[in-house]
A and B are shown apart, each in its own frame.
Chain A
């Protein structure tokens, strides 16, 4: 059978880094094709190229043998429908309207509501989802919104359906249903590209699997001819380039952070401890609840239950809000540095100054010379390049921006540092420097908590690794002995490979 959709020799680079490197994928009608890989392996970029949102640097996308122009509209017209990872629904419109957003059936400008609702209902019936089509999206659960997104893609009568991590926000029962629904659709002749980290799902659902690693295609196989173990091996698959000397000797001291019974949206009753001089890593997949967990712990987001205590110099303090966390020496390097971390149009000095105001200007009056001196010291310490502290933060590259975010916390000598994806989107050199800084902090006796989807990074840095899935800690590994497969196995829902 001929391929419905074929991506040939696709290459796409962002700022010199090849996100997708000469990848070819083809999917036939009725086939469910899994594309798997670690976070950042290039899956999402490939799918965005397939659906016309991004343009490839080279290579072409063919649908039923015809090359398509690269635009979202052409892709849709050609029959490629993408179910976004980020929800792209209008919150205050009804289910039916969202399914037909931008393309309501009309007569003389008037929306043919009856027809629209009938079509919407038919689409929902087709995928077997019962939901009130007059309900506004803002009142639906995240899971339901996900199904509406799928209905919207189906309503375009696609030949190829692409789903990007569709089960991230679903319960097991909902996931179960989604998978059987996709099987049904495939039997009706739809070609489906299924992106997921979740190995059991892939093995239950898919016919073939393509594995990407660091933007390259590394493995294609019929699912029957492979094993979960093999897939995980291929996903992780790189040589253990961990330089064992780069691991430090941890000498954990007293417990600094103690969190008990933390509950928050996406976090389900978690206990956590971090000791002085210890680096604790939180592994797991995107959407597992790691960011939500740390934000709830330090009070950056509201939690619904649980106690958090910080012990500094033998004094045990309760953390009730982000302000109290700050007062007790918590430093937070957030995941979204453009949104949460930096004031992009402010200078490096100003960004460094922001969390250190009380210390640098106890009287409330800024001493520009002192602020500049501190900023300069910190810029040198983190290796900011170029070390021009008067430059706006937004004019630096991603790696240097991240260094600024870290630098601004170093002056206070924090007792507990939380880093969320500290090296995402950062070049190799900056990454090494950031790792060095993190280790240095721990060596000086700081308690460090690191969230990372980058397995080598997690293994290199962590003394202890907790793997999070569905808002819970699924397993705890000794950082010195754990390997990537164990972490990935826990994160993807397989049993511990080697107990």
Chain B
């Protein structure tokens, strides 16, 4: 590149944009919206450890991890769809069940390798159907994934006959499902590994970059030379593969599989993502936040069970939590705008 002599001359003319000093209170709200989840999670865990008997036991830590693992794996994957600005993938319900049933039913007959291949094929099909309809036809993601849920569950039930499938009690899968490293079950290690991998993909790869920038500004991303349709398919593919792994983990943990086993995973995963502070407007958010959201929701459920509080109250608490999380975010955005 040639040297830029004229620059110095012009520099003098250019005005530096004045930085507006932020008010303290506004900063407070923004800081809270940014980091609130860390504080909340820490406070919840600390107070539970102090006030709830048995919470801090090693066994209970294992239980919390068991609670968090499958839903967490779904949620960290679904974060990609949410960050791309497409609300959620309802069809994870069908995908998790499909993967679990395939894992046990197919591996019983043809071995693990064939099972994994078959499950990956299923994940790929889901991703392509969802991604093409949303990315190329610009159809609403909620309705598209709702219809693939119908079709997917219908197919699964038709093909599996609705039976419950068992793995051999001492098969590799069952051993993995029961295995622990200290108090940490292998499934939680999978969750941590998935979080790290997906955080890397989202923050450090070209693909993750386009997912984020698509969520912030679709048109600028397209004009930056991105095939935005492919980005959407990719986001759905990450979600589908995560749902597949969640299905494996779930199948390993219970060593059984049935088509109804993942009911409610769609909205539960989304709830964890929102509680973690990922914005449904797209762009803002991270996989790590989702992990925190999952931990927060799991710890909360765990504490409520330890206190022998009914299931109804747990659902109410989740609803209030979502409202609080988004309200703080909204107030912060408003403060930031002024």
Q: Dominant SS at the B interface?
A: helix
Residue B254, interface by CB 8 Å: no
Q: Which of B7-65 contact A (CB under 8 A)?
A: 7, 10-11, 13-17, 19
Contact between B206 and A357, CB atoms less than 8 A apart: yes
- A381 with B6, Cβ < 8 A, contacts A341-B220, A427-B14 known: no
Contact between A343 and B13, CB atoms less than 8 A apart: no
Contact between A357 and B209, CB atoms less than 8 A apart: yes
Interfacial chain B residues near A358, Cβ < 8 Å: 206
Seen from chain B, the residues whose Cβ lies within 8 Å of a Cβ on chain A are 1-2, 4, 6-7, 10-11, 13-17, 19, 203-207, 209-210, 212-213, 216-217, 219-227, 283-284
Residue A444, interface by CB 8 Å: yes
Interfacial chain A residues near B227, Cβ < 8 Å: 323
Interfacial chain A residues near B1, Cβ < 8 Å: 381
Contact between A364 and B14, CB atoms less than 8 A apart: no
* Those 3 A-B pairs whose CB atoms lie nearest each other, nearest first: A429-B13, A429-B14, A326-B225
Interfacial chain A residues near B207, Cβ < 8 Å: 364
Shortest Cβ distance from residue B84 to the other chain A in the assembled complex, whole angstroms: 13
Interfacial chain B residues near A323, Cβ < 8 Å: 225, 227
- A429 with B206, Cβ < 8 A, contacts A344-B216, A436-B10 known: no
Interfacial chain A residues near B204, Cβ < 8 Å: 365-366, 368
In whole angstroms, what is the CA distance A368 to B206 when docked?
Answer: 11
Given A350-B209, A385-B14; 20 other pairs, CB 8 A cutoff: A322-B225, A343-B213, A343-B217, A343-B221, A345-B283, A346-B212, A354-B220, A357-B209, A361-B206, A366-B203, A366-B204, A381-B1, A381-B4, A383-B11, A386-B16, A395-B17, A395-B19, A397-B15, A427-B14, A427-B15
Seen from chain A, the residues whose Cβ lies within 8 Å of a Cβ on chain B are 300, 322-323, 326-327, 332, 334, 339-346, 350, 353-355, 357-358, 361, 364-366, 368, 380-381, 383, 385-386, 395-397, 399-400, 408, 427-430, 432-433, 436, 440, 444
In whole angstroms, what is the CA distance A346 to B17 when docked?
Answer: 18
Which of the residues A327, A350, A364 comes within 8 Å of B213, measured between beta carbons? Answer: A350
Interfacial chain A residues near B209, Cβ < 8 Å: 350, 353-354, 357, 366
Contact between A433 and B7, CB atoms less than 8 A apart: yes
Contact between A346 and B14, CB atoms less than 8 A apart: no
Interface hub of A334, A340, A368 (most chain B Cβ within 10 A): A340
Which of the residues B6, B203, B224, B283 comes within 8 Å of A436, measured between beta carbons? Answer: B6
Interfacial chain A residues near B6, Cβ < 8 Å: 436
In whole angstroms, what is the CA distance A171 to B13 when docked?
Answer: 45
In whole angstroms, what is the CA distance A332 to B219 when docked?
Answer: 13
- From A408, which residue of chain B is reached at the shortest CB distance? B224
Which of the residues B14, B223, B283 comes within 8 Å of A322, measured between beta carbons? Answer: B223
Interface hub of B15, B204, B223 (most chain A Cβ within 10 A): B223
Interfacial chain A residues near B10, Cβ < 8 Å: 383, 429, 432-433, 436
Interfacial chain A residues near B220, Cβ < 8 Å: 339-343, 354
Which of the residues B11, B205, B216, B223 comes within 8 Å of A346, measured between beta carbons? Answer: B216
Interfacial chain B residues near A327, Cβ < 8 Å: 225
Shortest Cβ distance from residue A468 to the other chain B in the assembled complex, whole angstroms: 22
Contact between B222 and A322, CB atoms less than 8 A apart: yes
In whole angstroms, what is the CA distance A429 to B17 when docked?
Answer: 12
In whole angstroms, what is the CA distance A396 to B221 when docked?
Answer: 19
Interfacial chain B residues near A433, Cβ < 8 Å: 7, 10, 14
Shortest Cβ distance from residue B6 to the other chain A in the assembled complex, whole angstroms: 6
In whole angstroms, what is the CA distance A98 to B10 when docked?
Answer: 51
- A341 with B13, Cβ < 8 A, contacts A350-B209, A365-B205, A436-B6 known: no
In whole angstroms, what is the CA distance A430 to B227 when docked?
Answer: 32
Interfacial chain A residues near B15, Cβ < 8 Å: 397, 427, 429
- A334 with B223, Cβ < 8 A, contacts A364-B205, A364-B206, A366-B206 known: yes
In whole angstroms, what is the CA distance A397 to B213 when docked?
Answer: 21
Contact between B216 and A345, CB atoms less than 8 A apart: yes
Shortest Cβ distance from residue A187 to the other chain B in the assembled complex, whole angstroms: 47
In whole angstroms, what is the CA distance A408 to B223 when docked?
Answer: 12
18 residue pairs A–B, Cβ–Cβ below 8 Å? A322-B222, A339-B219, A340-B223, A341-B220, A341-B223, A342-B217, A343-B221, A344-B217, A346-B213, A355-B225, A364-B206, A365-B204, A366-B205, A383-B10, A386-B17, A397-B15, A399-B14, A433-B10
In whole angstroms, what is the CA distance A240 to B321 when docked?
Answer: 66
In whole angstroms, what is the CA distance A342 to B203 when docked?
Answer: 19
